[in-house]
Amino acid sequence: MDKAPQLIQERSAPPATLVIFGASGDLTRRKLIPAVASLARHHRLPREFALVGVARTAMSDEQFADSAINGRGLRDHPQLDGGIRYVSGGYDDPDTYKRLAETLDSLDAERGTAGNRLFYLSTPAEAFEPVINGLAGAGLNHARPGSFARLVIEKPYGRDLATARELDAIVHSSFDEPQVFRIDHYLGKDTVQNVLALRFANSIFQPIWDRSWVDHVQITVAETLGVGTRGGFYESAGAMRDIVQNHVLQVLALALMEPPASFDAEGLRNEKVKLLQAIRLPTDRDIADLAVRGQYTRGGTRDDLMPGYRDEPGVDPLSRTETYAAMRLNVDNWRWAGVPFYVRTGKRLPARVTEVALQFQRPPHLPIPTDQLTELDADALILRIQPDEGISLRFGAKVPGHSFRVRTASMDFSYDKTFREESPEAYERLLLDALLGDPTLFIRTDEVEQCWRIVDPIIEHWAKDHSPIPTYEAASWGPTDADRLIGRSGRKWRNPGGDA
Ligand code: BG6
């Protein structure tokens, strides 16, 4: 077991007030409050810290503290004792922001939160504009000298390139870019950051990380869950906007970009943008060959029968929203020219797994009779983002015995078995970064635009296509079109943890 290096500086938040808009919402309850609780538990919050919830639902400070906080075991944390407030009001009502400003001033005076404010927009996207305008109307977009006012914005950041630009114009009319932290929680996952460690803290991988060694790459974000209670939201998003535009393309950018000179925010984000810019856009003519969508229907087993997407609450019974998307991408640069990148995501697939798998080329010549190689797959390096976090290297090895048979074997690194330290939750890491003012793991405005540039033509093409949406049974690996997509080049999907 490795011991934590003693020299690594512990990171703790400065005095500040975290203001969560959408305080009575699902994300706040499931992710943000537990993240605050965990930061408090790990002593990452100073005594001069306060939390303010803002939402339309009427609630008292005590009720908010009780429902959100005490249930999460925060009661015993002195950092939060007495430092929780709630402001109820409409997002487009200037009075809400007036009362918020008074609350923030009184917290500064009582708790020493030093005028530092982190505004977290965890509302439905329609509320972003009124909240930003409301904050600006009350002067809360400007911090007093020596303090900070920052804005964290949840996805979806627009519905396409045009609306993302409109949102940016609204954001930038009141906040400067360095104040803006666009969140993609995948970047807060340790295993996603480990893509950087693997690639750039080692010398052995860099030489094989290119077109001369890599045959193709598969990036999978598979979920077993359906849309649950989020049908209403999901209907207007779909898999492409919900997962591909952000999580998949972020992981892809980190896995394929050039080495940055340093891991500072701009160095890293510049390289991601350059990579995203090098992704070739599909034309309307080749989209059918390069992108596939699907929607889950009823499936599973007799004991565990899952409803189809159209039967989920909040979903149109004739919905054409995709719950599965797969694409073949090409990156037009020296490192990757000619290498296909297959990405896919879906709800109600047979396994929950996120991974990046680099499959290497077959040896140029095999001095072994082919009948002795039947169980030999191509070499592969698999970065297991979640669950079962780790890395596997798959290669051929001689099967013990008198004959010379070769079969696939694998070397595995597991986070669990190697490190004693626990991974912080993604939201915990990112909240702390935002409180510290470190934008490295947040999305810059030009990255958002590049990502929309890539998915927009496909979403538009699908919107115009009135043929029936391909379907797949719940608990299967997606529509058969997806097998054809990858099969066209003679390759096939890895189906990790599932049927293969
Ligand atoms: C969110 C999507 O961004 O990511 C959800 O809106 C999805 O639909 C979730 O379920 C997946 O996150 P994770 O961390 O569980 O892989």
Q: Each residue of 55-80: pLDDT tens digit?
A: 999 999 988 888 776 655 555 566 67
Please give the single-letter amino acid code of residue 437: G
Give yes or no for residue 3 having a pLDDT over 50: no
Q: How far is the CA of 468 from the centre of ligand 1 (A)?
A: 26
Could you tell me the domains of the chain? 3-154 (3.40.50.720), 211-420+442-487 (3.30.360.10)
Amino acid 1: pLDDT: 40
Region 239-257: mean pLDDT is 98
The better pLDDT of the pair 497, 236 is held by 236
- Let me know if 42 is a catalytic residue: no
Burial class (CB in 10 A: 0-12, 13-18, 19+), 476: buried
With a 6 Å cutoff on the Cβ, whether 312 touches ligand 1 is no
Q: What is the predicted pLDDT for the residue at 371?
A: 77
pLDDT of residue 422: 86
pLDDT at 499 over 70: no
108 lines ligand 1 (CB under 6 A): no
Of 65-79, 121-135, 228-242, the one with minimum mean pLDDT is 65-79
Closest to 245 measured CA to CA, from 256, 237, 236: 237
As a whole number of angstroms, the distance between CA 397 and CA 409 comes to: 6
> How far is the centre of ligand 1, averaged over its atoms, from the C-alpha of 192 (Å)?
14
Per the CB < 8 A criterion, the answer to whether 139 and 101 are in contact is yes
From 157, 221, 241, 243, mutation site for ligand 1 pocket: most ligand atoms within 8 A of C-beta? 243
Q: Is the CB of 154 within 6 Å of ligand 1?
A: no
Q: How far is CA 440 from CA 116, 158, 180, 488, in A?
A: 20, 21, 12, 38
Residue 440 predicted with pLDDT over 90: yes
**What mean pLDDT, rounded, does the chain reach?**
92
Instruction: Check the annotation: does 41 bind a ligand.
Output: no
C-alpha angle 442/130/322, rounded to 5°? 60
Centre of ligand 1 to C-alpha 35, Å, is 16
User: What pLDDT was estimated at residue 74?
Assistant: 55
pLDDT at 76: 56
Report whether residue 355 contacts ligand 1, using a CB cutoff of 6 Å: no
Residue 154 is labelled as binding a ligand: no
- Check pLDDT > 80 for residue 81: no
376-398 confidence digits (pLDDT tens):
889 999 999 999 999 999 999 99
Distance 184 CA to ligand 1 centre (A): 10
Say what percent of the chain tops pLDDT 70. Answer: 95
pLDDT at 10 over 80: no
Say yes or no to pLDDT of 411 above 70: yes
| 425 within ligand 1 shell (Cβ under 6 A) | no
The residue whose C-alpha atom lies closest to atom 13 belonging to ligand 1 is 186
Average pLDDT over every residue of 4-33: 83
Residue nearest to atom 4 of ligand 1 (CA): 243
DSSP string, 113-131: -TT-EEEEE-S-GGGHHHH
Mean pLDDT across 392-408: 92
CA proximity to 192, closest of 337, 383, 59, 42? 383
Strands 180-182 and 149-153: parallel
What per-residue confidence (pLDDT) applies to 404?
Answer: 86
Structure-token pair, residue 231: 């049908």
* Residue-level pLDDT at 89: 96
Residue 398 marked as a ligand binder: no
HSE (side-chain half, CA atoms, 13 Å) at 348 = 29
Buried b (16+ CB within 10 A) or exposed e, 358-396: bbbeeeeeeeeeeebeeebebbbbbbbbbebbbbbebbb
Q: Which residue of the set 247, 365, 402, 461 is catalytic?
A: 247
Q: Closest Cα partner for 249 from 333, 164, 344, 167?
A: 344
Dihedral sign computed on CA atoms, order 230, 232, 235, 236? negative
Residue 184 in contact with ligand 1 by CB distance below 6 A: no
The residue ranking higher by pLDDT, 93 or 497, is 93
Whether residue 447 has its Cβ less than 6 Å from ligand 1: no
Tell me the torsion sign for CA atoms 315, 319, 320, 324. positive
Reported as a single tens digit per residue, the pLDDT across 157-206 is 999 999 999 999 999 999 999 999 999 999 999 999 999 999 999 999 99
- Peptide bond before residue 387 is cis, with ω within 30 degrees of 0: yes
Token pair of 363, please? 């040896």
The verdict on the CB of residue 48 being under 6 Å from ligand 1 is no
pLDDT of res. 500? 38
352 CB burial (10 A radius; 0-12, 13-18, 19+): middle
pLDDT band at 302 (very low <50, low <70, confident <90, very high): confident
- pLDDT at residue 18 above 60? yes
DSSP 362-390: PPS---S-GGG-TT-PPPEEEEEEESS-E
**pLDDT value at 471 more than 90:** yes
Tens digit of pLDDT for each residue in 269-297? 999 999 999 999 988 889 999 999 999 99
* Best probe residue, ligand 1, of 26, 247, 309 (max atoms within 8 Å of C-beta): 247
The pLDDT of residue 370 is 77
Q: Is 275 helix (H, G, I), strand (E, B) or coil?
A: helix
What is the token pair recorded at 467?
């043929």
Q: Give the Å distance between the CA of 347 and the centre of ligand 1.
A: 10
163 close to 169: Cβ distance less than 8 angstroms: no
Q: Which of 63-72, 298-307, 359-368 has the lowest mean pLDDT?
A: 63-72
Query: What is the 8-class DSSP label of residue 67?
Result: I
Buried b (16+ CB within 10 A) or exposed e, 153-175: bbbbbbbbbeebeebbebbeebb
Q: What are phi and psi of 481, to 5 degrees?
A: -55, -30
Confidence of residue 4 (pLDDT cuts 50, 70, 90): very low
Encoding tokens for residue 465? 């296509």
| pLDDT at residue 67 in the model | 75
pLDDT at 5 over 60: no
Decide if pLDDT at 367 tops 90.
no
* Cβ(471)–Cβ(295) below 8 Å: yes
Question: What pLDDT band is residue 2 in, cutting at 50, 70 and 90?
Answer: very low
How many Cα neighbours within 13 Å face the side chain of 177? 9
Peptide linkage before 78 cis (omega within 30 of 0): no
Look at residues 297, 186, 192, 190 and name the one whose alpha carbon lies nearest to residue 242: 186
Q: What is the pLDDT of residue 9?
A: 56
Average pLDDT over residues 368-380: 81
- Distance, CA of 106 to CA of 100 (rounded, Å): 10
Q: Which pLDDT does position 6 carry in this prediction?
A: 41
